[in-house]
Amino acid sequence: MHQPGWRSFIGTVVFVLYLAIYALIAMAVGARYLAEAHGAAQFIFYVVAGLAWVPGAMLIVSWMAKAHHNRDS
């Protein structure tokens, strides 16, 4: 049976903090600069902002996965 290590715990905490901070920043930027913008501009911003967190999350998850790969070898 697999036991999660410290790397998984730290990665999970960092991931949750990263996502929460990213979402707050994206909302603040959208509210401040796009409050009076056209609906299409708001839509494009939120689509891009809604997907822009993925590369950072991929880095965190791949860092967490290294521990599992090293343990399985």
Cα radius of gyration (the chain): 17
* pLDDT of 66: 84
Per the confidence metrics, is the pTM higher than 0.95? no
Tens digit of each residue's pLDDT (9 = 90 or more) over 7-31: 889 999 999 999 999 999 999 999 9
Residue 6, Ramachandran bin (φ over 0: left; ψ between -120 and 50: alpha; else beta): alpha
Tell whether the model's pLDDT for residue 1 goes beyond 60. Answer: no
Backbone dihedral angles phi then psi of residue 35, each to the nearest 5 degrees: -60, -40
Q: How confident is the model at residue 71 (pLDDT cuts 50, 70, 90)?
A: low
